[in-house]
Structure 1
């Protein structure tokens, strides 16, 4: 029997993950030689990955340098408008198609995430996993692909809405309501509950950006 080896991530995935986890943030300069050394790969795949990320507007030019792109107010609003509708559709389809096992996984995630209250970065990562599970439970590969693109762009946001004081517990209550609607097979409630959840996250982010809300610990 052939041994199963762990899948090696390519340079593109490694850089994208580094942006997604905040290792590189909007405005940070990406240097080919430094990336090659950090990830232990040659400069050629790094160069190709950087070109691909620039084409996808994840990176932008600053003179001769490539930096991690950032989103202005209008781009942020456009991103959330698309995300809201796609996420709502995913919840609607999950209420229709999710298996009992998938619903139990969602419920377990919602419970486990409460152990991370107060840790904005951990909750942000857990939140991505939770939403990804809903996407998969929609059982629509084309919707999942589009949501992957949206969430890739979400990596360009410098802060997480979970950083706002009090947002984490409210957001997890919203997750509970989303799971309950999906478990009840109530497509309309699932869509509307998730739509309100994303709308509230957007509102919180706008308040953070405007200085109306302070990040936790400030």
Structure 2
């Protein structure tokens, strides 16, 4: 499979949204200060990479993977890894759309603010919005 149907893409985004927003809520509730600092450092790198699409992709991926590692559920990690493989097959990647990198960054800022406040519910909501907007951009 080299191209992913819109239906498959929607299904993958839906599941990633559930899994990663759940992980984000766990991180908000349970992460150590050092772990939150680590995510903050990655976020700052993401802010700096806004003009370099490849670098932005890499750091974005690292951020999401690190968040999952901190949430520490190997079954969820495995499911996300499989789903992200399907996403990589999707050539018209959502971040390629004009203005999407800036939107994605704004969403990351909202996620970081909710994490910093240790507000699990808000963090879950911000992550869900991040995926919903990503799907809209990819569709």
TM range (shorter): over 0.9
What is the root-mean-square deviation in Å for CA atoms of aligned residues?
Answer: 1.3
Name structure 2 gaps, 5 residues minimum.
Answer: none
SS of alignment partner, residue 154 of structure 1:
helix
Name structure 1 gaps, 5 residues minimum.
Answer: 1-59, 61-68, 207-218
Larger radius of gyration: 1
SS of alignment partner, residue 196 of structure 1:
helix
Q: 1:139 aligns with which of 54, 61, 72?
A: 72
Asked if the contact 1:164/1:204 (under 8 Å) is kept, the reply is: yes
**Aligned pairs, number:** 139
SS of alignment partner, residue 89 of structure 2:
coil
Q: 1:111 aligns with which of 32, 44, 47?
A: 44
Match of 2:117 in 1: 184
Asked if the contact 1:92/1:191 (under 8 Å) is kept, the reply is: yes
Asked if the contact 1:98/1:139 (under 8 Å) is kept, the reply is: no
In 1: Cα distance, 2:104 partner to 2:54 partner: 14
2:98 equivalent to 1:165: yes
TM-score for both structures, normalised by structure 2 = 0.92
Match of 2:138 in 1: 205
In 1: Cα distance, 2:115 partner to 2:35 partner: 10
Q: 2:6 aligns with which of 69, 73, 76?
A: 73
In 2: Cα distance, 1:158 partner to 1:122 partner: 17
CA deviation profile, 1:84-140 (whole Å, cap 9, x unmatched) = 111111111111221111110111111111221132222112111111111112122
Bigger relative contact order (CA 8 A; separation at least 6): 2
SS of alignment partner, residue 70 of structure 1:
coil
TM-score for both structures, normalised by structure 1 = 0.60
2:22 equivalent to 1:89: yes
Q: From the two aligned structures, give the one with the greater strand fraction.
A: 1
In 1: Cα distance, 2:43 partner to 2:14 partner: 25
